[in-house]
Amino acid sequence: MKIGGHVSTAGGLNVAIDNAVKIGAEAIQIFASSPRSWNFSEPKEEDVSLFLEKANKFAISPVFLHGVYLVNLGNAVLLEKSINSLTQHMLVASSIHAKGVIFHCGSRKGFEFEEVLPQIADAIKEVLRSTPDDVSLIFENSAGMGSSIGSNFEEIEAIFSNVNNNRLGLCLDTQHCYASGYDLTKDEGVDLLISQIKPIGIEKILAVHANDSKVPFDAGVDRHENIGEGFIGIKGFEKIMAVEELSEVPFILEVPGFGKVRGPDEENVNRLKKIRLD
């Protein structure tokens, strides 16, 4: 099991590898552009080749891109922008040999899930159709805030079976699972989660976002905490990381960190490395 983290690309994509090495991350997630804006500019060729060279040198793999937070496949007004943004990210992912693009599906505000399902499935199909075969589009489960889509695996299964494409992958966020009613600190919670993912396919899980939770079980709120400092706790991570089905899946931190610079740090990486079984 690889332990990784979301790292900054300030100064260029290739700088992300330096940042990974600094904290001991073995895998990474990065933004290809500001996550709070639709603005996008393609990375420079020199930056891409330097990124590939460094990733290879320090054996940082796999690499994931995270889509912008504005993506919303449940909203007709934002649909085209969302498809364009995901497509741009998928192309960058392919050029830097990333595994794929992790994205938040968005909100079905004002609609029932069944009403927005066809639109979501069509959008995902369109992104997959217009992007290279070597990258996956990776659906992240949500914490269930407001009318966010995909906070339970029945909904996610409906989306996966409608899209019916092997290039659609799954990212499990431990904090989102915990906040949306899967108590990962208990065997029953873990069993419920795994049994609900089985119809989708355990092999679809391409990444775990390893985050402790600032909010209690089933709070329905997306608030990440450092490993061991939240409601999941070290005991919870010991349980999650011992799940047989997840033993080959990279665990990627998206935590606030203990220092002044926000984001995953060496301490969080080390806490997970201490817990992993291999």
Binding residues for Zn ion, rule: CB under 5 A, are 173, 209, 254
DSSP character string of 117-178: HHHHHHHHHHHHHTS-TT-EEEEEP----TTBS-SSHHHHHHHHHHH--TTEEEEEEHHHHH
The CB-of-8 to Zn ion minimum distance in angstroms stands at: 16
The CB-of-249 to Zn ion minimum distance in angstroms stands at: 14
Residue 54 or 74: the one with the smaller Cβ distance to Zn ion is: 74
What is d(CA 159, CA 151) in angstroms, rounded to the nearest whole number?
12
- Cβ 101 vs Cβ 86: under 8 Å: yes
The CB-of-254 to Zn ion minimum distance in angstroms stands at: 5
Residue 212 or 254: the one with the smaller Cβ distance to Zn ion is: 254
The CB-of-140 to Zn ion minimum distance in angstroms stands at: 5
Residue nearest to Zn ion (CB): 209
Residue 90 or 102: the one with the smaller Cβ distance to Zn ion is: 102
The CB-of-222 to Zn ion minimum distance in angstroms stands at: 8
Can you give the C-alpha Rg of the chain in angstroms? Answer: 17
Strand, coil or helix: 101:
strand
What helix, strand, coil percent values describe the chain, rounded to 5? Answer: 40, 15, 45
Residue 48 or 62: the one with the smaller Cβ distance to Zn ion is: 62
The CB-of-44 to Zn ion minimum distance in angstroms stands at: 28
Q: Which residues have a Cβ under 8 Å from the Cβ of 36 and sit 6 or more positions away?
A: 68, 69, 70
Q: Which residue blocks in the chain are alpha helix, DSSP H?
A: 15-23, 45-57, 79-95, 113-129, 153-163, 174-179, 187-197, 233-241, 266-275
The CA-based angle 261-6-68, given to 5 degrees, is: 105
What is d(CA 26, CA 251) in angstroms, rounded to the nearest whole number?
10
Residue 139 or 160: the one with the smaller Cβ distance to Zn ion is: 139
The CB-of-4 to Zn ion minimum distance in angstroms stands at: 13
Residue 14 or 29: the one with the smaller Cβ distance to Zn ion is: 29
- Cβ 257 vs Cβ 218: under 8 Å: no
Residue 26 or 173: the one with the smaller Cβ distance to Zn ion is: 173
